[in-house]
Amino acid sequence: MKLSIFLPTRNRPKYLFYCLKSFLDLKIDKSQIVVIDEESSAVENINNELLSTEQVMSNFPRENFIYEKVKLGTSLQDKFKIYSKNSLNFDYFSLMSDDDLFLKNEGISKCIEVLNLNKDISYAVTSSYMFQDFPNAWTRNFILPDNIFTGEDFLKNFISIESFQHSTVTGIFRLKNIYNTNSFDSLEKILRNKLIEGYGNDTRLYFRNATCGKIASLGKYQTRAIRFHNSSMTFNSPIESSYVYYWNIIENIEYCKNNKINIYEFTNYISYWLKNLLTSHVISTFLYSNENKKKDLILKENNMGFISYINEQFRIHKISISKEHNFFFKLNYLIRLIPKWLFIKRKNEHYIPKNYYQFIIRILPFYIIIMILPINLIKKIIKKIIKIL
């Protein structure tokens, strides 16, 4: 089988322990997991014992659980090079997050079996589920069909259907195709500004490798449990994550077009991500976060104001501005006119107003007025504001 899994980690020894244990429990022959540790210093209580990342690794057999240390700030591209040196004799690749879990069934083995028997299949995916264990436990299933897709049809589904978007984390790829498609080459502007490369990296894998052959979907198996938590980098860096995702998506759509996959759904996907760029600035306005430095770097990289940049992207990609887009453009214009200290910010909340009323109630003077004035008068005031806009 010869499966090698790439797992970057930093300062999450407890999550890492359970992730690695879930992989060990699978008992997959001729497989390994390569852990690339970026200067972890955290120590956490695991089964009544305080353990560091290095101590966690010592609990697993070295021949199957490879441990490599890298300096803080090492690029994902360079981490992948270290992974590659440890995977010279392996045929298949998969990417894993240190806080997710493998589910105990034969799904991964079946994916590899399909790839072994069908040389025209580029990669295989399965169903998955997402969960949150605290503060409020919940789960969501993302079920895929049992089918073989052309690369073009798979990307149509990926763009349009949420279950495909989340289940692609289960992908088992041919390692040679990962190399041939430069799936871990990062954009120069992301490296130059030391932005998080991982945002949108999944599109590099799934878009680029869709040009190499068919995709097998083994929907009856769920092989990954995806952990959701609002302390993640993506959650707390809405602007950085949205722009890096967007840049990666644009580059990989161009890659697909240059390799004979050009579908109408690409336009819809770009439109969706342009809306995300607009809403990321709204989210950031109402969220306690520390991404101002990254925001300034992105502003400098774009070489123009954020609103001007997004407007230009609509023009370049020939995408019509919808009513929804226009609403978020107006919110962004308003945000520029209002002193920052007047916005009511909260931690661990992505606040996206759906109308002007929901917007103004998070501005301090209006919030106070709303607490005092009768509702009918408030509605009249809002109507007048909307007319002005």
Cα angle for residues 155, 156, 158 (degrees, 5° grid): 60
Q: Are 92 and 115 in contact (CB under 8 A)?
A: yes
Residue 111 belongs to some domain of the structure: yes
Tokens read off for 79: 């981490």
pLDDT at 268: 95
Tokens at residue 179, please? Answer: 């190399």
pLDDT computed for residue 372 by the predictor: 63
Domain that holds residue 46: 3-229
The whole-number mean pLDDT for each consecutive block of 10 residues of the chain, a chain of 389 residues, reads: 92 97 94 97 96 97 96 94 96 96 95 97 97 83 97 96 92 97 94 89 92 98 89 80 95 96 96 97 90 91 95 97 96 91 88 90 72 66 62
**Residue 345: inside a domain:** no
Same domain membership, residue 77 and residue 223: yes
Same domain, 187 and 135: yes
Q: Which residues of 145-155 are buried (b: 16+ CB within 10 A; e: fewer)?
A: eeeebebeebb
According to DSSP, residue 145 is labeled P
* Residue with token string 């301090």: 364
Q: State the pLDDT at residue 229.
A: 74
Q: Give alpha helix (H) positions in 168-264.
A: 175-180, 188-192, 201-209, 233-236, 238-258
CB atoms within 10 A of CB 71: 8
Contact present, 37 and 86 (Cβ < 8 Å): no
- Of the residues 211, 229, 247, the one at which a domain ends: 229
Task: Based on the fold, state whether residues 217 and 89 are members of the same structural domain.
Answer: yes
Tokens 């992989």 sit at which residue? 23
